[in-house]
Structure 1
Amino acid sequence: MSDISGANDSQDAAAVAAQLLAAGAPFDALQLVALREDAAALALRGIALAQIGDLERGIELLRRARARFADADKLAKARCILAEAEIRLALRDFRTASRLLAGLAGAFGDLQDRFNAAHAVLLEARLLMLTGRIGEAGQRLDTEMPLIMPASLRAAHLLLRAEIAARRARAQEAALLLADAVALAGDHAMLRAQAAALGEALERPVARTAGGRLLVLREVEELLASGALVLDLGRQVLGCDGIHVDFTGRPILLMLLQMLAEQCPSDVTRDTLVQRVFGAREVDEGYRNRLRVEMSRLRRHVGGTAAVRSTARGYRLVPLRGGDVVVLSPPIASPEARLLGLLSDGEAWSSFALAAALGASQRSVQRGLAALMREGQAGPVGDGRLRRWVARPLAGVTPNLLLVAATGTGDTKDMR
């Protein structure tokens, strides 16, 4: 009889610990499971330690728990995988997170666990956002979600939508979503902290005009709605009247467009374009042919926002709607502004994750990291394959909203 009573006590303690974790109280949860070694307790301890910040130890305990659960307990094993995937996102281990999340939402659906299925969808969307695929992240969140969800899960859902809206320069939409998320977060400390960070980000400068004026996100949104043709170098987007053309992963086209936009309405000579964009010391027919090919690609890519016209000397940019041309730069005056913006979200990044998020080669990322280290703005932690990079917090600016599409103000910490 005592054995049965003890088992029930253990189950009750695990249930209470799970509720505490869902409410964002990891220290209280740890007190209930700290000395236990059964599978459920190991999983709960792993999640609690991850919420506190000991991510590597959290992964270790979750893997031990997953191994101890019986093969027939597919739901418990799936929940361990989901929790590890969320930690991997916090560690910016995108490759492992992607592998763990593959098919997981569907698996939870088959197991009739709709809440964790919804949470898996949130993590998939966050992974897409962190790796620069903002459009796909928004589409993933449009997946049918349960009509009835825990308040913390609904708050996390709204926070992610708000962050995506902010990265699309939709300040008003982001603010409304954020207000709804705060109302749902209640006393959940981690969700409230995440909401507060995003709220502060919406009020900090996210861009700089050619004249040096700093703009907050609301002003960028107003500029995009004004009829002006806006080239946002931080987000790598050309926008006008609701049309947005993404230049992520197209560095040559972006450099050409930037040079034309900065000189508009004047033209830029072919020789200047070749020397600046291709780094040519001497301009020959081969480089001119290459320029013609890239300009043809640029014409197709700018779509209905602008035209690229040939002149006797070179090329010029013509806004199709006749408005002004405005070039916005990141508020951080540094060649590595986008890289520094990613690092400044407070998480530790591997060079591989940085390259994936920026759509750049690891070699170029490593050169940028070396430059930031020389300037004392970033530094490595760990050695070899475990090496990660962190940066000092940047006061007064919001670098993580400037990036092409990627990076967030932290990860959803509502571990389950």
Structure 2
Amino acid sequence: MDSLITAAARALAAGDPLGALNRVALRDDAPALALRGIAMAQLGDLVRAKALVRSAARAFGPKEAVARARCVVAEAEIALVSRDLGWPAKALDAARATLEAHGDRVNAAHARHLEVRRLLLIGRLDEAERTLSELVPVLFPPASRVAHELVVAGIAMRRLQTKTAHAALARAGRAARHAGIPALTAEVESASLALNTPAARLIARGEERLLLLEEVEALLASRALVVDACRYVVRDAGTVVSLSTRPVLFALARALAEAWPADVPRDTLVARAFRAKLADESHRARLRVEVGRLRTMLRTLAGVSATKRGFVLVPRHAREVVVLARPVEEAHAAVLAFLADGESWASSALALALGASQRTMQRALDSLAAAGKVQSFGRGRARRWMTPSASGFTTTLLLSAPLPTD
């Protein structure tokens, strides 16, 4: 390997993509193409980066299996940052196996982290946690330890384990300072903001207030009966009843919880559950049926009693009834929540992450775009969506070892 390739690889490992390009920008050999691709990815030009990395993979000879495997890992990371979550998992797994077989444990671990981050984005927490447990972070260089701890923190935050998340972010911060890469430090600081910004809204006895993530954790561990409008469940400290597939029942439960300890008039319940402006006898008959179904679903947590003007929720064990809602509730709020990470997403990736059809997701994105809340770039399958204020600078593409070395 020549001195320019070595210097460019070191510049990339130190988070200096411009320094790397200064050395290899005019070269078209395989190692230079790979380094140029990673540099362009760090600068945010993901389309060009993907093309360069693919060209590098084709240019490496049949005896350069490790270099080709690293190109596969780099392309997978570009796909992840592009929020193209449908990449071939088998190709990444084969690349990881090749890297492990040739003793490149650092980049093999990097491939494993990419797999875990994808699982985290699409909500498969148990699988992400099992995969992550196979890694030993103390053996990693500082940049790889940052990636590991950020994934640990991401899983902990989604499981509402704020102490674990704080500890992981503290370790990530120390590793980022040790690595001396400003982009990594910025990424840790960005992740830390999630613990210090409102995560949900509490509605109780006619009043509302915002909650931090640790306050949400404390609420769900309390003896209160919580109607959770973030996950569409009703829960107390020991029991969880999912109403995610029963939207009418959940609408009734939420209306009753928001009014507790008072009752809710029948016409109000009809309007909330059936979206009917005027309640006639058929609506009232249907309301009685749905309230009966709600009683059956919530029988271990609460009863639903009839009053002169409507119905009231009667908790069996809890002394308080509250509603936990998203900080901001509007049309397509879940889509905006995913786009708030500052990255560009493919509509197919959003559909996968939210468990919706691609047609439904496209309609939601078109509606948000018409309102000026999201914007897109690219065409066809290369089209990506993001919030208007998002930065184009990519901090996550930092391969943990120089790509072309064997």
Shorter-chain TM-score: which interval? 0.7 to 0.9
Matched AA of 2:160: A
Shift in Å, 1:156: 1.1
User: Who is 2:136 aligned against?
Assistant: 145
**Among 199, 202, 212, which residue is 2:195 paired with?**
202
Quick check: 2:200–2:210 contact (8 Å CA) kept in 1?
yes
Listed one character per residue, the Cα deviations across residues 215-264 of structure 1 (whole Å, up to 9, x for unaligned) are 22232223233332334433556554487777777766754653454355
Name structure 2 gaps, 5 residues minimum: 401-406
The counterpart of 1:189, out of the listed 172, 182, 186, is 182
Distance 1:410 1:266 in 2: 51
SS in 2 for 1:95: coil
The 1:18/1:246 distance shift into structure 2, 3 A limit, reads farther
Paired residues, number:
388
> Is the counterpart of residue 56 in structure 1 residue 47 in structure 2?
yes
Equivalents in 1 of 2:199, 2:237: separation in Å? 20
Cα distance per residue 1:336-358 (max 9 Å; x no partner) = 22111112222222221111111
Does 2:345 correspond to 1:361?
A: no
Instruction: Give how far 1:126 is off.
Output: 0.8
User: In 1, are the aligned partners of 2:241 and 2:298 still within 8 Å (CA)?
Assistant: no
2:399 corresponds to 1:415: yes
- Counterpart in 1 of 2:404? none
Instruction: Specify the alignment match of 1:129 in structure 2.
Output: 120
| 8 Å CA contact retained: 2:303, 2:316 | no
Greater Cα shift, 261-270 or 175-184: 261-270
Separation in 2, partners of 1:316, 1:222:
26
- C-alpha distance in 1, partners of 2:294/2:77? 42
The RMSD of aligned alpha carbons is: 3.6
* C-alpha distance in 2 between matches for 1:261 and 1:271: 16
Q: 1:84 matched to which residue of 2?
A: 75
* SS of structure 1 residue aligned to 2:301: strand
One-letter amino acid matched to 1:366: Q
- Counterparts in 2 of 1:262 and 1:289: CA distance versus 1, 3 Å: closer
Deviates more, 1:279-288 or 1:251-260: 279-288
C-alpha distance in structure 2 between counterparts of 1:74 and 1:100, whole Å: 13
Please name the residue that 2:301 is paired with: 307
SS in 1 for 2:37: helix
| Runs (5+) with no aligned partner, structure 1 | 1-7, 301-305, 395-408
Matched-pair contact (CA < 8 Å) for 2:241–2:297: no
Which residue in the other structure is 1:34 paired with?
25
- Structure-1 separation of matches of 2:129 and 2:315: 29
User: Under a length normalisation based on structure 1, what TM-score does the superposition of the two structures give?
Assistant: 0.79
Deviates more, 1:250-259 or 1:126-135: 250-259
User: 8 Å contact 1:158–1:181 — kept in the other structure?
Assistant: yes
| Offset of residue 294 of structure 1 | 7.1
Give the letter for the 2:14 counterpart. A
Deviation of residue 367 (structure 1)? 3.0
1:380 aligned counterpart, secondary structure: strand
Instruction: Give deviations 1:379-408, integer Å, cap 9, x for gaps.
Output: 2323333322222349xxxxxxxxxxxxxx
Residue matched to 1:70 = 61
Note if contact 2:110-2:144 (Cα within 8 Å) is conserved in structure 1.
yes
C-alpha contact (below 8 Å) 2:252/2:273 kept by paired residues: yes
Q: Do 2:11 and 2:20's aligned partners in 1 also have CA atoms closer than 8 Å? A: yes
The question of whether the paired residues in 1 share the 8 Å contact of 2:137 and 2:148 is answered with no
Judge conservation of contact 2:110–2:399 (CA < 8 Å) in 1: no
* Residue 35 of structure 2 corresponds to residue 44 of structure 1: yes
- In the alignment, the residues of structure 1 paired with residue 79 and residue 261 of structure 2 have an alpha-carbon distance, to the nearest angstrom, of 48
Alpha carbons of structure 1 residues 193 and 254: separation in structure 2 relative to 1, 3 Å = farther
The match for 1:399 is: none
Aligned equivalents of 1:293, 1:381: Cα separation in 2: 49
Tell me if the contact between 2:249 and 2:290 (Cα under 8 Å) persists in the aligned partners.
Answer: no
Is the contact made by 1:162 and 1:177 (CA closer than 8 Å) also made in structure 2? yes
Match of 2:403 in 1: none
Q: Which residue is equivalent to 1:218?
A: 214
In 2, Cα distance between equivalents of 1:380 and 1:108: 36
Q: Secondary structure at the match of 1:19?
A: helix
Shift of 1:71: 1.8
Q: Please give the per-residue CA displacement for 1:143-200, whole angstroms capped at 9, x wherever unaligned.
A: 2336411111011100121122222333332222111111011221221111111122
**Partner Cα distance (1:155, 1:287) in 2:** 55
Stretch of structure 1 that moved more, 84-93 or 379-388: 379-388
Say which SS state the counterpart of residue 35 (structure 1) adopts. Answer: coil
User: In structure 2, what residue type is equivalent to 1:216?
Assistant: L
325-334 or 100-109: which moved more? 100-109
Q: Match of 2:147?
A: 156
After superposition, residues 371-410 of structure 1 pair within 5 angstroms as 371-393=367-389
Aligned to 2:376, what secondary structure does the other structure show? Answer: strand
Does residue 1:262 correspond to 2:255, yes or no? Answer: no
Contact kept? 1:248, 1:359, Cα under 8 Å = no
User: Is the 2:266–2:284 Cα contact (8 Å) retained in structure 1?
Assistant: no
SS in 2 for 1:58: helix
> Secondary structure at 1:112's aligned position in 2?
coil
Could you say what secondary structure the match of 1:144 adopts? Answer: coil
Does 185-194 or 83-92 show the bigger shift? Answer: 185-194
TM-score with structure 2 length normalisation? 0.81
Provide closer, same or farther for how the CA distance between residues 20 and 328 of structure 1 changes in structure 2, counting only shifts above 3 A: same
Moved more, 324-333 or 254-263: 254-263
